[in-house]
Structure 1
Amino acid sequence: MKATVLGAAGGIGQSLSLLLKINCHLISELSLYDVVNSHGVGADLSHISTNTSISSYLPENDGLQKALCGADFVIIPAGIPRKPGMTRDDLFSFNAKIIASLAEGVARYCPGAFVLVISNPVNSTVPVFAETLKKFGVFNARKLFGVTTLDIVRAKTFIADLTNKKPQSFRVPVIGGHSGATIVPLFSVGAPEAYSSLSYETKSALIHRVQYGGDEVVEAKDGKGSATLSMAYAAYALVNQILTAVTSGLDNEVVSYIYLDDSIKGASELKSKINGLDYFAIPVKLGKEGIEIIDSQILDRIDQAEGDMLEEAIEKLQGDISKGVSFIRGQ
């Protein structure tokens, strides 16, 4: 397997590339691309004594083409992180153009690759990516994943802290989107006993912390950084799950922000429950060709409070999705 990291010299990209180099035996070649410093990152990683080979590229000399050609997986942390005082709209205006250009590269040079989009705001950048692939006639909804895994990592970690249990003992699905109130952690589904033991105030604080955990990190770093290390870990975990699923069929359920294509089993049923949204973070079953089944029935198991959060998330997601779609269709 060849994996390409677009934005490999950034805070997420470097940490993610390190994890892929030292831990992922399924990747034989790791290709790094960025507008600056990718050669330095590549040289550094190439000294690590694992079997994954390293190549690195800059934009000149057809670097993007060389980085992408033959790629089976493309992971995209490229773009700028959110800074203090920056709105999601500000972030989108910077990152949408970057994502569109990289999507065009994928469409031209590795249209059959699995693509994992980390670049924020994910609620809008994934539609940008999908619409670009559609323009080139190569869009495959089964292979496009918006990375929302950090919300799950946070949910498991934070409830474990409150209940003195190990994070690994919980499987908390987090649905909806990947920003603020669009993030809907389903503690009643993934940690029913532990969650029910908490007071109302503690539950509310827990949910808020999952939804706005990124702000906590930005503040702790005094505005000089964002959640890069935890995001890299979360992205690596998703990459590893998908790789394992497509190569062996094992561990084949993940949660991701995806396009609800009607050809995927469960998509139509889910859309009927979420006001017809085309994109949503939801548990999915994977196979060798990507997403096979969408778990629409999970919404039948949530409690009233989570149902209320879901309604708010749906309303906000409509605007986020429309922004990404309009960005490409308006060009």
Structure 2
Amino acid sequence: MSSTFSGNTASGGANAGGSIFNASSGQLTVSNSTFINNTADNQGGGIHNEDTLIVSNSTLFGNSAPSGGGISTLASGTATLRNTIVGGSTSGGNCAGVIAVGSTNNMATDNTCGSSFAQVTAAQLNFGALTGSPAYLPLNPGSVAIDAGDNVSCTLADQRGVPRPQDGDDADSVAVCDIGAYEATFADLRASKVNNVGGVAVLSVPFTWTATISNTGVEPAAFAAGQVIFRDHLPAGASYGTPVAQNPVNVTNASNIACSIASNVLTCTAGSATVTLGAATGKFEVAFSATPTATGSLVNPTGGPCRADPDGGIAESEESNNDCANTVTVTARVHLPLVLKQ
């Protein structure tokens, strides 16, 4: 039902169900919903159940009651939970009563909820701050709830309406739904670098290095004014021309990409306005000339990374593909003798 229950209270000695009381003869289905900071004076800080309860892809966190801070269910009731998080209850444990055997792929921060719940810590869940309308708890990169659900029993979309499943961790290119009300989506920045001489240059003859910075993730990557988009530590043994940002695709404010080289470090920043690489296809190139001043290998990078988002300002599904590298071998000029025929 894609709802948020926050700050509700069931007060009075016998009152239960800080947000929802499912009475006898009641059948309640909850999906894609967030329960946070709700309390009950008796039991079931988030939900109290006395009959049939089904909870799918929901997040109950930080609720409290003397018994069952997150969920309580009487012996007369049946509670089935799937792909759901119940955690962080400040009193009464996360669950009270029996969670049905058919429950699958759940997570809790204690051992009160039964065998269908993997026991994790709040730090491992790695929630972001409550946000949105209706409000939800986003999963930050690295959360154990990302790609941990069951695609068969997951809801078709999350609390925001984002389709499930998404490949939130991006490490295996397999889309698996997340546990809880939120389906994680992130940017995914990548960098690559090529040269135009097939990897072999001639001493004193300039060649061109071209780096491509792209976003293949499902969220845009927005770099605020002054934020570094790309940094490349260039090797000694060459002199470098002025870098040019070029060929933008799906980039907002591409003209504000400012690139420069100082002390053999290439830096591209967002200038006076936010530069956004759009989801899935956003990219641009930065090209510059390199004139070899010595024979040998120009190994790039040297002394530091060649990396998109080098300061880690963008939340990404995968950080290991942000780096680039390229090596050019420099050979001496070949001087052929001049033969004169009479």
TM-score, with length taken from structure 1: 0.24
Higher relative contact order (CA 8 A, sep 6+): 1
Which has the larger share of strand?
2
Bigger Rg, which one: 2
Which has the larger share of helix?
1
